[in-house]
Homo-oligomer: A and B are copies of this chain.
């Protein structure tokens, strides 16, 4: 089963990577940009008997390794098949 995980900086938490990308984009002439946030996009293939099981495993992986819950939020989507 394929799972897509989106990890994003929490609101109110400093996002230096986002600030750097925004500043670089403006330097390249992309003046229409007014906000950038940079996170991670993780795609996992996991063996699970059900979508529910896949969800449970993924939530544990996010809490333990994929995200830092103090400074990051995460959400994920489980694809069937």
Q: Which residues of A contact B (CB under 8 A)?
A: 6-8, 21, 24-25, 28, 30, 32-48, 57, 60-61, 64-66
Contacts and interface: CB of A to CB of B under 8 A. Distances in A.
Decide if the interface of chain A is mainly helix, strand, loop or mixed: strand
6 contacts: A6-B41, A32-B47, A33-B45, A34-B45, A34-B46, A40-B40
Nearest to A38: B42
B40 A44 contact: no
Nearest to A33: B46
Contact of A8 (B33, B36, B41, B66): B41
B21 A46 contact: no
A48 B31 CA distance: 11
